[in-house]
Amino acid sequence: MGMLKDRNWRKHWRRAVFGVCILAGCGAPVFGEADALADFRAAFAPTVESTEGPPGEAPPGMVWVPGGEFSMGIADPRALQRGGREAMEDARPVHRVRVDGFWMAKTPVTNREFAEFVDATGYVTVAERRPDPEDFPGVPEEYLVPGSLVFSDPREVEGLGDYRQWWRWAPGAYWRRPYGPDSSVEGKDEYPVVHVAWADAAAYAEWAGGRLPTEAEWEFAARGGLSGKPYPWGEELIPDGDWRANTWQGRFPVENTAEDGHEGLAPVKAYPPNGYGLYGMAGNVWEWCADWYHARAYRMRAEDGEAVDNPRGPEKSYDPADPRTPKRSTRGGSFLCTDQYCTRYMVGTRGRSEPDSGAVHIGFRIVK
């Protein structure tokens, strides 16, 4: 793949990078942390949970999320300690949303669970299929091989403006061999499955009798009953020095000090669950949602100021950074997120990616 022309490299990069966290210029001035948190909280009204109980016994590996009314989105986090450099404008205005109750998987789908699906159905993921020559005109057929994007672990980069510096196309990379033919998921049954495109995730969900969550469902669940908190567990990224998510520590992307205990992916239950008993709602892997991504979705549906019932997302996608390429929404951030580049592990933030590609930091979970 190293001999592909620039335009075809750009196509590969676009196919899997997580709705690239584009730097939004200089960070906002940092005020006192208490004042910044108070201003942040002021954008949110309390979450009002439904009192209606679950419809029966919990399906294996799932918990009941009660639904209710909540403030969806995020206030500008840049004044917060570790709030990052992004204004998160695509997640505003913060607006009221109502969702019905639903069952949600406690964890992202694991390698073990996905293997059961593949063994039962013979399913072949997008990363295992040969790229369509029509999508890559002029590229010699010998370079059109199955594969996916992996983090390249660079020794040095020139600024953070070009994400291609830390991503590489890896022929033969797919969910069983996440870094290429010489890698394996052996011994990692309880790690999240990765290199799954949106269609792969939807196929698994249908086989399992479920579906992918909407963005509204995912966010309500991630908040765990809390309101106006930057993280699924509260107001501090590292409360009392205790890491609660698998993110990047050190100078991104050349040095990961692994202070959170994991240099790359982590097991799905490596950190405590949130208030609803859900694991991994921040960091580790991005998670596919059902919605098309639209940068102005919140503005369009919040115009009348009324609470929105069970929003299913827009009818089409729009990403101003790449307006010709449709994207699906992703949530939660990944092990590559950091306040130096991408703080989208903060609850209420949004990601996006092309639906026909996966990467080493994209997974999913299902709802019923």
CATH of the domain at 338: 3.90.1580.10
Q: What pLDDT does residue 23 have?
A: 32
Compute the chain's Rg from CA coordinates: 20
What pTM does this model have? 0.90
At residue 341, φ and ψ (nearest 5 deg) are -140, -45
Cβ neighbours for 175, distance < 8 A, ≥ 6 positions apart: 111, 114, 125, 127, 185, 193, 194, 195, 196, 358
The pLDDT tens digits along the chain (368 residues) read 333 333 344 344 434 333 333 333 333 444 477 899 999 999 999 999 999 999 999 999 999 999 999 999 999 999 999 999 999 999 999 999 999 999 999 999 999 999 999 999 999 999 999 988 888 788 788 778 999 999 999 999 999 999 999 999 999 999 999 999 999 999 999 999 999 999 999 999 999 999 999 999 999 999 999 999 999 999 999 999 999 999 999 999 999 999 999 999 999 999 999 999 999 999 999 999 999 999 999 999 988 889 999 999 999 999 999 999 999 999 999 999 999 999 999 999 999 999 999 999 999 999 99
CB count, 10 Å around CB of 277?
16
- The whole-angstrom separation of Cα 232 and Cα 274 is 6
Of 230, 226, 215, 233, the residue nearest 274 (C-alpha): 233
Cβ neighbours for 242, distance < 8 A, ≥ 6 positions apart: none
Of 336, 171, 169, the residue nearest 265 (C-alpha): 336
Q: What pLDDT does residue 186 have?
A: 98
Q: Provide the number of structural domains found in the chain.
A: 1
Vertex 312 angle, CA 72 and 326, to 5° = 100
- The whole-angstrom separation of Cα 330 and Cα 285 is 10
Q: What pLDDT does residue 160 have?
A: 94
Q: What pLDDT does residue 32 have?
A: 75
Q: What pLDDT does residue 25 have?
A: 34
3-state SS of the chain? CCCCCHHHHHHHHHHHCCCCCCCCCCCCCCCCHHHHHHHHHCCCCCCEECCCCCCCCCCCCEEEECCEEEEECCCCCCCCCCCCCCCCHHHCCCEEEEECCEEEECCCCEHHHHHHHHHHHCCCCHHHCCCCHHHCCCCCHHHCCCEEEEECCCCCCCCCCCHHHHEEEEECCECCEECECCCCCCCCCCCECCCCCHHHHHHHHHHCCCECCCHHHHHHHHHCCCCCCCECCECCCCHHHCCCCECCCCCCCCCCCCCCCCCCCCCCCCCCCCCCCCCCCCECCEEEEEEECECCHHHHHCCCCCCEECCCCCCCCECCCCCCCCCEEEECCCCCCECCCECCCCCCCCEEECCCCCECCEECCCEC
Q: What pLDDT does residue 136 have?
A: 77
- The whole-angstrom separation of Cα 219 and Cα 310 is 12
Of 289, 298, 126, the residue nearest 219 (C-alpha): 289
Q: Which domain range does residue 54 map to? A: 1-368
- The whole-angstrom separation of Cα 58 and Cα 157 is 48
CB count, 10 Å around CB of 34?
8
Sheet strands side by side (includes 286-292)? 351-353, 328-331, 286-292, 362-363
Q: What pLDDT does residue 303 have?
A: 84
Give me 269's structure tokens. Answer: 């239950």
- The whole-angstrom separation of Cα 297 and Cα 315 is 10
